[in-house]
Amino acid sequence: KTAYEIAQCLVGSEMCIRNRSITKVIMVRRCISIIGSGPSGFYTAHHLLQNAKVPLEVTIWEKLPVPFGLSRYGVAPDHPNVKNCEETFTDTVNKVRNDKDSIHKFNFIGNCEVGKDVQLSDLLKKQDAVVLSYGCATDNKLGIPGENDTDGVFTSRQFVNWYNGHPDFALHPKFMDFDWKSVRNVGIIGNGNVAIDIARLLLSSTVSSIWGSTDINPLALEKLRQAPIENVKIIARRDFPNSKFTNKEIREMWQLESYGVKGHIDSKFFTPEKWNMKEQARTFKRCVDLFSEYVKPYEERSAKYKKLPQPENGVFTKHWELDYLKTPLEIIKDGSSNRIKSLKLCNNTMSESNRVNAHPDKTLEYNLDLLITSLGYKGSPMSGFEELKIKFDRNKIANSQGRVLDTQENTIPGLYATGWIGKGAEGVILATMTNSFAVAENILKDLHSLPPKTTSIPSLENVNSTTWEDAEKILSFEEQEGKMKDKPREKLLTVQEMLRVVQH
C-alpha cells in the first residue's frame, strides 16, 4: 500500500496529511479500565498489553489491597501449581512498567471498590473501554428450610474463603466461634471440584506433610484439626455419569488411603456394565477404570494402584462416601440449640432424557454435625447497572461475545464482560483464560471504531487506595514471613494489616 493508504488504516491516530503524504503521525493513547484483578481480569490485561498495536494505558481496579482474586483466595492451598498464572501476570506488568521502550502503561488501583469509591458511569465516560471482570461473589442456594439460620451450615464459597484467608472471612465469628470439637459427621452437597477440595481438607487437615507447607489460613487449619471427623458424605442429585469432579481431584481423594482415609461408593451407583462404555468419552472411561480399581480390596488391585502404602495395621479411621440420586428437603436443628442435627432428603431417579425425578414420598435422614453446600457461585449486579441500563441475565451480565448488552438487547459501546461474570460461574482457570483472550481481541478490534475519550481517571479523594508498588510490598512481606515457616507465604488476614505494611 502507499504511505497515504497506510496512514488511513492507522487506528487511534492523529495525522497531518499534506499532498497525500504524511508529515506527522501522533499515536493517541487509548485507556482501558478492568474491574477485578482475578484470573479473568489479568488475562484480559495480559492479552491487551501483549497484542495492542496502539499505545494503551490499562488500569486494573481491585476491592482488596492486593491482586489475584480467585487465584489467591479460591484455589486449594495444596494445589500451588494452579496459581502459576500469578507469575505470568506479574511478569507482564513488570515488563510494561520497567521497559523504557514499551508503548504501554499499567496501573493497579487496589483497596478501591467500583460502585462505591468510584462510579462505573464515571469510568465509562472517561475511559475508552471498561471491562467488568469482578467474578461471582454470591452463592447458589438450595432454598430449603434451615439453610440460612442454622449453625454449622456453610456455603462452599464462605468455607473456601475462610481457609484461604480472605479478609472478609478469615476471622469471621461464624467459623471462629463454631464448635469444631463436636464435628464427626459431615455432609457436602454437590460433587464438583470445590466439593472434593473441601472433603480432602476436612479428612486430611491433621496431615502436616500435605498442609503444613501451604499458605492455608493457619487459624482455620488449627480449628479444623480440632474436629474428630469420622465420616464425610458427598451428596449429588444426579447419578455417577453426571459427576462434576475431574479425574485428578477424585484420584487425590482415593490416594488418601495411605493416611487412613477410606473411600466408598455403593455398588448400586457404580454400574459400568450398564453404561455402554464403548460410546463414552475418554475421560469418563479413565474415571471408571480408576473407581474399578479402588473399590477392590488392596491385594486384588493392579500394580499401578499399589504404589501408595496402606495405613498401619490396615486400620482406616476416617471414611468418605460418594452418595448419588438424593435431593435435600430440610435441615433439621437440634432441639436444645440452633445447631444442625440432621438433613432430610428424598430419593431421585433419572429419566431417559437425563432429567432428575425427585420422589418426596421416599425420604431418608442423615445425622450431621456440619453441612456445606457446594452448589456453585453466583454473580450479582454491580452498583450503577440500573443507571446504565445493563441487562443482568441468569446470574451473569448479558453480553454478545463479551460486549455488554443493555435492557433492550443493544450493545453498550466500550463496555465488556469477561470471566465468570460474563459467561457464568463454571470452568477452570484455563477456560477463563480462553474467554478473556477472546474478549480482549474483540476490544482491540472495537478500538478502531470507538472515538478516543479523555485519558483521566475519576478523582479518588478520600480513598486509601494501593498502587502496584504497594501490592508488591504486601506480597513480598507475606513471602518473607512464609519463608521463615517453610511456606510460600503467610497471608495477612485483614485489610488493616495489609495497609500497615504499606505505611511502614
Can you count the helices (H) and strands (E) in the chain?
Answer: 17, 22
The pTM assigned to this predicted structure is 0.91
Q: Which amino acid is at 205?
A: S
Res 16: pLDDT: 42
Report pLDDT for 454.
65
The residue that leads in pLDDT, 235 or 83, is 235
- Sign of the alpha-carbon torsion through 117, 122, 124, 127: negative
CB proximity list for 353: less than 8 A, separation 6 or greater: none
Quick one: pLDDT at residue 455? 64
In whole angstroms, give the CA distance from residue 485 to residue 367.
39
Q: Residue 11: pLDDT above 50?
A: no
Using a pLDDT cut of 90, give the percent of the chain over it. 85
Model pLDDT, residue 428: 83
For residue 115, which amino acid is it? G
**Amino acid at position 209, single letter:** S
pLDDT at 232 over 90: yes
Pairing verdict, β 30-35 and 56-61? parallel
Among 26-40, 171-185, 239-253, 435-449, name the one with the lowest average pLDDT: 26-40
Query: Does position 4 have pLDDT exceeding 50, yes or no?
Result: no
Sign of CA dihedral 282, 284, 286, 289: negative
Does residue 279 or residue 339 have the better pLDDT? 339
Specify whether the backbone of 368 is left (phi greater than 0), alpha (psi in -120 to 50) or beta: beta
Express each pLDDT in 125-143 by its tens digit: 999 999 999 999 999 999 9
- Arithmetic mean of pLDDT, 290-296: 96
How buried is residue 47: exposed, middle or buried, by Cβ count under 10 Å (0-12/13-18/19+)? buried
Own/partner contacts of 121-126, CB < 8 Å, gap of 24 or more, are 121/384, 121/387, 121/388, 122/458, 123/33, 123/35, 123/458, 124/388, 124/412, 124/414, 124/415, 125/453, 126/31, 126/453, 126/454, 126/455, 126/456, 126/457, 126/458
CB 82 within 8 A of CB 429: yes
The pLDDT confidence band at residue 26, using thresholds 50, 70 and 90, is: low
- Residue listed under C-alpha cell 478469615: 170
State the cell numbers at 205. Answer: 487437615
Q: Per-residue pLDDT averaged across 395-404, rounded?
A: 96
Q: Could you give the CA distance from residue 35 to residue 32 in angstroms, rounded to a whole number? A: 10
Q: Give which of 39, 40, 49 is closest to 87, Cα–Cα.
A: 39
- Res 379: pLDDT: 94
Residue 330's identity, in one-letter code, is E
Half-sphere exposure of 11 (CA within 13 A, CB side): 14
Question: What is the reported pLDDT for 120?
Answer: 96
Q: How far apart are the first and last CA of the chain?
A: 57
Q: Is residue 24 over pLDDT 80?
A: no
pLDDT of residue 259 exceeding 90: yes
Query: Mean pLDDT over all residues of the chain?
Result: 93
- For residue 265, give the DSSP letter: E
Which band of pLDDT confidence, cut at 50, 70 and 90, is reported for residue 466?
A: very high
